[in-house]
Amino acid sequence: MNNKPSTAEPDWALLRAFLEVANSGSLSRAAVALGSSQPTLSRQIAQLEAQLGHALFERTTRGVRLTEAGAALRAPAERMREHAQQFAMVAAGRSQTVAGTVRITASEVFSAYVLPDLLLGLRRTHPEIQIELVASNAVENLLEREADIALRMLRPKQSALVARRLADQPLALYAHRDYIARRGQPTLSNMLQHEWVGYDRSDQYLRGFRTAGYAVGKDLFGFRCDNQIVAWQAVLAGLGIGVVTRRVAALSPQVVRVLPKIPIPPLPLWITAHRELRGTPRLKVVFDALTHALKER
């Protein structure tokens, strides 16, 4: 590339596009992550290359990879992103207004079955606060402002985050009462002859059975789905025995708890926010409301 490099500082949007492509190794994957399109991303990379006077990527059969010039620029661009994130955090933390948006992330099951009722009271008390809910089992990055508050089953390790442990979420096994009428009451002696609802690709249930002393295979689960909401709906439809938190099961009187003697460790629950944002009035309102609502079982 023979373009004369520009002395102007590159647009941060172009550097963000560069980093996403560098980290994903693919224009298409980077476009999805940025909520953009591949042609737009290609134009941004071309614009940045024109400004810098260097080719940053070379195409391969599997995507793109950094050139020598691109590799040299990656670390400085990462440092710029860190400073930009810190700037955004401090600026957000200085906001003294309650009105605005708070972005929460929680698991799919928790988002679908627990949070709506809790957020109803919050919205009635503070209609000026809008809620964005990211229902995902993936761990959203609070440091990059993918969410303001996270409800997760693990404690974060980053020192820049503030976390509070809430009430553990007890788990138990359940089946629809029609299933029990059809197949009989599950017992420790006949449980492996019953129908079970489990995961597809995840081996979480298999490991749980083996920890309890039952060396079972995937074929024990006549219905398998990695989406936890769908798996619970299968239990509600009478497809077999499944596991869910007692809080969620209490919403469905048609299910019956079974095999209560099988010990299932409860799920720990943590609420997390960035330290810089903890003092923002609207974030504090939502953080405290969720903490109060979930501090008891």
Residue 221: the pLDDT is 95
Q: Are 240 and 223 in contact (CB under 8 A)?
A: yes
On whether both 107 and 165 belong to a single domain, the answer is yes
On whether both 161 and 202 belong to a single domain, the answer is no
**Can you give the CATH number for the domain in which 41 is found?**
1.10.10.10
Q: Is residue 1 part of a domain?
A: no
Distance CA 242, CA 231 (A): 8
On whether both 38 and 160 belong to a single domain, the answer is no
Strands 63-66 and 57-60: antiparallel
pLDDT, tens only, 166-191 = 999 999 999 999 999 999 999 999 99
On whether both 111 and 229 belong to a single domain, the answer is no
pLDDT, tens only, 71-98 = 988 888 888 777 666 666 555 555 556 7
* pTM for the predicted model, two decimal places: 0.65
Q: Is residue 88 part of a domain?
A: no
Q: Residue 238: which of 165, 182, 162 has the closest Cα?
A: 182
Q: Which domain holds residue 77?
A: 12-82
On whether both 114 and 74 belong to a single domain, the answer is no
On whether both 77 and 127 belong to a single domain, the answer is no
**Can you give the CATH number for the domain in which 281 is found?**
3.40.190.10
On whether both 159 and 282 belong to a single domain, the answer is yes
Per-residue pLDDT of the chain (297 residues; tens, 9 = 90+): 545 555 556 677 888 889 889 988 888 888 888 878 889 989 999 999 888 888 999 988 888 899 998 898 888 888 877 766 666 655 555 555 678 899 999 999 999 999 999 999 999 999 999 999 988 877 655 655 578 899 998 887 776 788 899 999 999 999 999 999 999 999 999 999 999 999 998 888 898 888 888 889 999 999 999 999 999 999 999 999 999 999 999 999 999 999 999 888 999 999 988 877 666 888 889 999 999 999 864
Domain count, the chain: 3
Residue 297: the pLDDT is 47
Long-range contacts of 52-59 (CB under 8 A, 24+ apart): 52/5, 52/6, 52/10, 53/1, 53/2, 53/3, 53/4, 53/5, 53/6, 54/1, 54/5, 55/1, 56/18, 57/21, 57/22
Q: What tokens were used for 275?
A: 């330290």
On whether both 227 and 210 belong to a single domain, the answer is yes
Distance CA 18, CA 66 (A): 10
On whether both 50 and 188 belong to a single domain, the answer is no
Give the domain-ending residue among 82, 112, 128.
82
